Amino acid sequence: MPERLRPLSPPAVPHAAQPKAKQAAADRPEPSPRDRARPGALRVEGLVLEAQGQRLVDIEHLALPAGGVTMVMGLNGAGKSLFLRLIHGLITPSHGWISWGEVPCGPATSATQALVFQKPVLLRRSAAANVDFVLRARGLDRATRRDRTAEMLARVGLEGRARQPARLLSGGEQQRLALARALAIRPQVLLLDEATASLDPASVLAIERIVTDTARAGTKVIFITHDIGQARRLADDVAFLHRGRLAEHRPADRFFVGPQSESALAYLEGRILL
Ligand SMILES: Nc1ncnc2c1ncn2[C@@H]1O[C@H](COP(=O)(O)OP(=O)(O)OP(=O)(O)O)[C@@H](O)[C@H]1O
């Protein structure tokens, strides 16, 4: 996926995927027995992203379960998208460690993940060719690509649109195609950045169904949303960010009945907390 963000300032301290990874790994705190018991779980320690003298992300500790759907919520500018890009390895943190299970965040973990943006980034080719492109990039043979493409288009309800140019699909169809392309690589982790924000209710529900099925099949889903109804429908747990910090991370049933942080409470009640 192309990254459209401007590059941030170079990191003061390289993170685990950088050349000084050995030193970083040696300094990394030991995972708790609970975190260790969940291979593939996301673990974040002392994660800081600074740019132009500002601390945009500052998360001391976060451990996400290896499975299920984690919803990431917070006001505009809270740092949600940056956090997603950090854990996908698109941005290098200024300080701190990110690991998936025991594997430090880097090319090896990114290759097992797929990221879907709010605005689908599609090639000026047919729907089928968009899916085929990522499979070809992974070196799959022609027959496997053909079968996988057909399977993915059917999974998102676009089997009748395979030959249609992607740019002529509706917004909802384009987003389902983006999802088909993301799922075609059979990711261990699916990252969604407000992937349903500009869609009508039927398209939102269609995508939610696919996301739920994907999570049930074992893919970890991390989903940024401003839609509280959607978060209630999908979340197993919620990570709430406020001004770049983690205000709280709790199981969804507890978060929605009684958030512990003032910022999350204000958000759920529709109050503005600056
Ligand atoms: N490349 C960059 N350089 C400097 N500042 C940036 C950069 N990218 C984002 N920011 C700033 O970091 C803050 C967090 O941005 P981010 O996109 O993560 O917010 P968000 O929580 O996803 O917001 P929204 O809900 O509006 O999408 C914002 O104030 C933004 O202006």
Mean pLDDT of 91-99: 95
56 within ligand 1 shell (Cβ under 6 A)? yes
Q: How confident is the model at residue 13 (pLDDT cuts 50, 70, 90)?
A: very low
pLDDT given for residue 139 in this prediction:
95
What's the pLDDT score for residue 122?
Answer: 94
Share of the chain above pLDDT 90, in %: 78
Over residues 245-269, the mean pLDDT reads 95
Residues 89 and 1: their CA atoms lie apart, in Å, by 12
Asked if residue 91 has its Cβ within 6 Å of ligand 1, the reply is no
- pLDDT band at 271; cut points 50, 70, 90: confident
pLDDT value at residue 96:
96
Residue type, 182: A
Whether the CB-CB separation of 18 and 24 falls below 8 Å is answered with yes
Nearby residues of 84 by Cβ (< 8 Å), 6 or more positions away: 72, 115, 191, 193, 222, 224
- Cβ density class 74-106: b for 16+ within 10 Å, e for less: bbeebbbbbbbbbbbbbbbbbbbbbbbbeebbb
pLDDT digit string, tens, across residues 126-157: 999 999 999 999 999 999 999 999 999 999 99
When pLDDT is averaged across residues 97-115 and rounded to a whole number, the result is: 92
Ligand 1 lined by 120 (C-beta under 6 Å): no
The first and second tokens of residue 103, run together, are: 């594997």
Note the pLDDT of residue 26: 47
| Cβ 77 under 6 angstroms from ligand 1 | yes
Which of 30-34, 60-64, 65-69, 190-194 is the least confident region?
Answer: 30-34
* Residue 7 pLDDT: 41
Question: Per-residue pLDDT for 182 more than 60?
Answer: yes
Q: Quick one: average pLDDT of 92-119?
A: 92
Kindly give the number of the ligand 1 atom that is closest to the alpha carbon of 56: 12
CB of 193 within 6 A of ligand 1: the answer is: no
Q: What is the mean pLDDT of residues 90-114?
A: 93
Ligand 1 atom closest to Cα of 82? 18
Q: What is the mean pLDDT of residues 215-230?
A: 95
Residue 36 is predicted with a pLDDT of 45
Segment 237-243 shows an average pLDDT of: 97
Please report where in the chains the tokens 């090896």 appear, as a residue.
108
Is the four-CA dihedral 124, 203, 86, 31 of positive or negative sign? negative
* CA 273 distance to own-chain centroid: 26
Rounded CA-CA distance 152/223 in Å is 20
pTM of the model as a whole: 0.86
Instruction: Tell me the C-alpha distance between 175 and 166, whole Å.
Output: 10
Model confidence at 27, pLDDT cuts 50, 70, 90, reads low
6: Cβ below 6 Å to ligand 1? yes
How far apart, in whole angstroms, are the C-alpha atoms of residue 225 and residue 229?
10
- Is the reported ipTM for this assembly greater than 0.85? yes
Average pLDDT rounded to a whole number, residues 43-72:
96
Instruction: Decide: helix, strand or coil at residue 93.
Output: coil
pLDDT value at residue 35 = 47
Least confident of 26-35, 118-127, 169-178: 26-35
Do 35 and 42 contact (CB within 8 A), yes or no?
A: no
pLDDT score for 199: 87
Which pLDDT score, from 0 to 100, does residue 101 have? Answer: 87
- For ligand 1, atom 16, which residue shows the shortest CA distance? 79
Average pLDDT, the chain: 87
